[in-house]
Chain A
């Protein structure tokens, strides 16, 4: 692998890990907020 290949691999791994963690966290919060809201606030 060339130097550029290692750079692409490193930056891609970082982007995927940080992006996936952020998206998963946001989705978990939304789900938890839906489940935490009292029934009357869902209407």
Chain B
């Protein structure tokens, strides 16, 4: 790595967000999460049918939305890596960083859905099209994250392999979204992003749901920047270890020749 690619502390410069923008997003994220807690637990009225248990929705729905967004970013970055004209390391790192966050948000959506489902449906889990396709999505991208940890002899070839796996796994995202339209399910149909694009939620409840979605999206952007940064640092460390191993090998072989 050249000197121009390092900052004053000798660390790689490669970052997604400028430091000032990252700080602003961090502060706005904390403020919006605090507002979400206040509105979600106290500001929003109690649901007439589901009671207070419905308050889990203000976390469950944003988690599911972030799962979609994170895996869309992974798929888009993977496609950009596979396309020869746009191939760059940044897309591979971005895909991996976003997938890890997507797995976390999918897992959270599943657990929160289960906690919400128990008082409303009477069961923790049902073999329902939406639930099963979401669980499948979780394991598909968990497998993708595991695949990324398997080293490849050719780094570009390995990244291509990962990109193809991400695009295959992403096929499940529209299946998850439209499962409630295609099959008869226990899970309710889309309230906000329905086929008519006519949100069936009003007042403070809708406002709180949007607040949760914005807060989680900001958190995702912040964490994506940080996870990308970690990937840059880890790649740099792996490169240095490789260079050191090659140098040791060369010096050892010179010693044998001498």
A and B interact physically: yes
Query: Are the C-beta atoms of A29 and B233 separated by less than 8 Å?
Result: yes
Contacts of B223 in A (CB 8 A): 21-22, 25
CA distance A17 to B105 in the complex (A): 9
Could you tell me the distance in whole angstroms from the C-beta of B69 to the nearest C-beta in chain A? 15
B10/A9 in contact, CB under 8 A: no
- A3-B51 in contact given A14-B63, A14-B112 (Cβ < 8 Å): yes
Residues of chain A in range 1-43 having any CB-CB distance to chain B below 8 Å? 1, 3-4, 6-7, 9-11, 13-14, 17-18, 21-22, 25-26, 28-29, 32-33, 35-38, 40-41
Contact call A41/B63, Cβ cutoff below 8 A:
no
Q: Is B90 an interface residue (CB 8 A)?
A: no
Within 8 A of A (CB), among B193-236: 219, 223, 226-227, 229-230, 233-234, 236
B226 proximity list for chain A (CB < 8 A): 22, 25-26, 29
A14 cross-chain contacts in B, Cβ below 8 A: 59, 63, 108, 112
- B219 and A18 contact, CB distance less than 8 A: yes
Q: How far apart sit A35 and B238, CA to CA, in the bound complex (Å)?
A: 11
B12 contacts partner chain A, Cβ-Cβ < 8 Å = yes
Collect the chain A residues with CB atoms within 8 Å of residue B72's CB.
Answer: none
B7 to chain A, nearest CB (A): 10
User: Which residues of A sit under 8 angstroms from B119, Cβ to Cβ?
Assistant: 1, 3, 6
Would A10 and B116 count as touching, CB distance under 8 A? yes
With a cutoff of 8 Å between Cβ atoms, the chain B residues found around residue A17 in the complex are 104, 107-108
Residue of A nearest to B236 (CB): A36
Q: Is B245 an interface residue (CB 8 A)?
A: no
Is B237 located at the chain interface by the 8 A CB criterion? yes
With A6-B53, A13-B111, A18-B219 known to touch, is A25 a contact of B230 (CB < 8 Å)? yes
Residue of B nearest to A12 (CB): B115
B142 CB within 8 Å of chain A: no
Are B56 and A7 in contact (CB-based, < 8 A)?
yes
**Chain A neighbourhood of B9, CB < 8 A:** 33, 37, 41
By the criterion CB–CB under 8 Å, are A6 and B10 in contact? no
- Name the contact of B233 in the complex, choosing from A1, A6, A36 (C-beta under 8 A): A36
Most chain B beta-carbon neighbours within 10 Å: one of A10, A21, A33: A10
| Interchain residue pairs with CB less than 8 A apart (20) | A3-B51, A3-B53, A9-B115, A10-B55, A11-B41, A11-B59, A13-B108, A13-B112, A21-B223, A25-B226, A26-B226, A29-B229, A32-B230, A32-B233, A32-B234, A33-B233, A36-B237, A37-B9, A38-B10, A41-B10
Q: Which 8 pairs from chain A and chain B are nearest by CB?
A: A32-B233, A10-B56, A3-B52, A38-B10, A41-B10, A3-B53, A10-B115, A3-B51
